[in-house]
Amino acid sequence: MYTEKVMDHFEHPRNVGEIENASGIGTVGNAKCGDIMRIYLDIDENQIIQDVKFKTFGCGAAVATSSMATELVKGKNIREALSVTNKAVMEALDGLPPVKVHCSLLAEEAIHAALWDYAQKNGITIEGLEKPKSDIHEEEEEIERY
Ligand code: FES
């Protein structure tokens, strides 16, 4: 049921790990299954993504889509990275079973959250980037508040 590319990225995920002093870090959770993803971006002064790493407590499809997503954003500028959608990631993997499509959202959302973090730290606005709704820390804060 999984394509060869999905199996390859699941068994040999690219860019697993973390980046010390990352330019931006994004952590998101998937409301449907409770899985969690964190993305680290290293962005240079020309707004090019020099390096990207991820960590996940997620299923195989989340690992494969995150691995592919990190490959797709590496070397891109921040606007190009913003346009890497979960659909593009799924296409690059030759598709996912319908029941696993939601897993591919984790990587897209975590990249957006990391870009948001980068923008906040640098006092800039990235056109088309909205404040991530599923930031885990924010949810925790909200839970504490109520
Ligand atoms: Fe949770 Fe796939 S089942 S990310």
From the CA of 33, how far away is ligand 1's center (Å)?
6
Give the predicted TM-score (pTM) of the model: 0.89
How far, in Å, CA of 133 to CA of 86, rounded? Answer: 16
CB-based contacts of 84: which residues, under 8 Å, 6+ apart?
69, 72, 73, 76, 108, 111
Torsion sign over Cα 58, 108, 92, 53: negative
pLDDT tens profile 40-80: 999 999 999 999 999 999 899 999 999 999 999 999 999 99
With b for 16 or more beta-carbon neighbours within 10 A and e for fewer, the 63-84 pattern comes to bbbbbbbbbbbbebebeebbeb
Q: What is the pLDDT of residue 22?
A: 98
Query: What residues line ligand 1, using a CB cutoff of 6 Å?
Result: 30, 33, 35, 58-59, 61-62, 103, 106
How far, in Å, CA of 75 to CA of 71, rounded? Answer: 9
The list of the chain residues with pLDDT below 50 reads: 138-139, 141-146
- Decide if 59 is catalytic: no
